[in-house]
Structure 1
């Protein structure tokens, strides 16, 4: 029963942290991702998907390597800041993404995932 409670605790915390990240991320960007995605804007979907994956990989690592929920949450906050920094680096391409241009969205998504993977591995040390 103890393992099940730990699972539920970490799973619920991870989902809540992911939700907080997504809400914060879509407020950081100058365009409305979900509105654009509902209008079939592939670029918005690509860039948001990359950010979500770039956040999730380190979140998975923090679940595996940390010893407590507060420590996991701290790493999630750090990971969120790193993902925001990736977007800010590419912010000059925001208008193109909003217009539906998939090339800058693909680059942003790739950078988000790459930095997220590096972040995830660094948590293990």
Structure 2
């Protein structure tokens, strides 16, 4: 069974979102996603400074099995990417909740609507 930390929010595209106290959010892929992808070999991450809308494709994750899109879970601006993930993409397989991908400065508190809590995400993946 996949890990689903209760303090995070989730997207239906299997990304986790951790709100910060300063209006930024940290985004990564879930344990469920990395297990289904298999061995991850490459991430294409968004450019810092890019303005994004909810659902915009912002990058890709490539595994030995497939290439999948990364989507913006919120509207805002990309303010940071995790260079460690670009240099060591396989570490996401061993620590998906410790290896974040990018950070967004969100536009307003309401922009997190539509994200799933841990219970709703657990239900989503149990039906997959």
TM-score by length of 2: 0.27
Higher normalized strand content (fraction of residues): 2
The one of the two structures with greater contact order (alpha-carbon pairs below 8 A, sep at least 6) is 1
TM-score by length of 1: 0.27
Higher normalized helix content (fraction of residues): 1
